[in-house]
Amino acid sequence: MCYDWQMDRPLLFGYQRLMTDFAIARARMIASQVRPNGITDGRIIQAMATLPRELFVPEERRSIAYVDEDIDIGAGRHLMEPMALAKLVQLAEIDTGDHVLHVGCGTRYATALIAALCKSVIGIDEDEALVEGANANMARLGLTNAKIHKAAHASGWSPGQPYEAIMVDGRVPAVPPLLLQQLRDGGRLVAVVGDNAVATATVFSRNDGAISSLPAFEASVARLPGVIVERPAFVF
């Protein structure tokens, strides 16, 4: 039996139109959100210009995949807005030979972005539903240098340490000590740190065993669950 592909021409053309619309939205994201906000690393720009962000959000939210705000993906989790994500990744100064840890990988969009910049990346997330099928999805995108594991956000992934760079995907009240311990000497950890909605993107560096920190820019990003800081009780 010969298949008459012309019977499905409206469906085919609709799909092509949809892909064209996403490509236009992606180009506008680069032009209006990424380039004007201090992103000078051409590798980041190129990766974001080609990575289909719409494939990393629930189907019902694909039409807003390129908006300039965090996208709610359910269960209290979000895909970080393009500008803040690009600035945070650039702050990590990821090199082509680096081994990177991505904490709170969620939708895996940022994991895929990091994979385009480094030798290898490990993504961890404590939400089993988000981790399920993640490695197969990465393989389908041709990202053979990315692996996803289920793990507590505050614990990192010690089997893969040490890391040249660690990125924490979301706002945290403080950086867990276990993450800093997994940095290689000379390594960098980037995170948005603070209790308020507007917090400070900070780079932590490990040199000769000592940790130093440097605030970089203000950012309003969704909180990453699972990172709790014990505060001392008041004594009267």
**Which residues touch 216 (CB under 8 Å, ≥6 apart)?**
87, 91, 190, 200, 201, 202, 203
CA 118, 122, 185: angle at the middle one, nearest 5?
70
- Whole-number pLDDT of residue 15: 42
- Whole-number pLDDT of residue 230: 64
pLDDT tens digits along 171-185: 999 999 999 999 999
- Whole-number pLDDT of residue 141: 85
Supply 218's token pair: 């203000």
CA 85, 43, 61: angle at the middle one, nearest 5?
40
pLDDT tens digits along 29-77: 999 999 999 999 999 999 999 999 999 999 999 999 999 999 999 888 9
Q: Read off the pLDDT of each residue in 202-215 and give the average, rounded to a whole number.
A: 97
> At 140, is the pLDDT very low, low, confident or very high (cuts 50, 70, 90)?
confident
Indicate the residue type of 16: Q
Please identify, in words, the CATH class of the domain defined by 5-220: alpha beta
Nearest-angstrom CA–CA distance, 6 and 17: 17
Report whether 151 contacts 78 (CB < 8 A). no
Nearest partner of 221 among 82, 28, 126, judged by Cα = 82
What residues does each domain of the chain span?
5-220
pLDDT tens digits along 13-23: 344 555 669 99
Q: Does pLDDT of 81 surpass 70?
A: yes
> At 107, is the pLDDT very low, low, confident or very high (cuts 50, 70, 90)?
confident
Locate tokens 């012309």: which residue?
Answer: 6
> At 137, is the pLDDT very low, low, confident or very high (cuts 50, 70, 90)?
confident
Cα→Cα distances 57→66, 187, 218, Å: 10, 31, 25
pTM of the complete model = 0.88
Q: Does pLDDT of 116 surpass 50?
A: yes
Residue 14: Cβ within 10 Å count = 11
**Which residues touch 205 (CB under 8 Å, ≥6 apart)?**
186, 187, 188, 189, 211, 212, 213, 214
Which helix or strand (DSSP H or E) is residue 112 part of?
helix 109-115
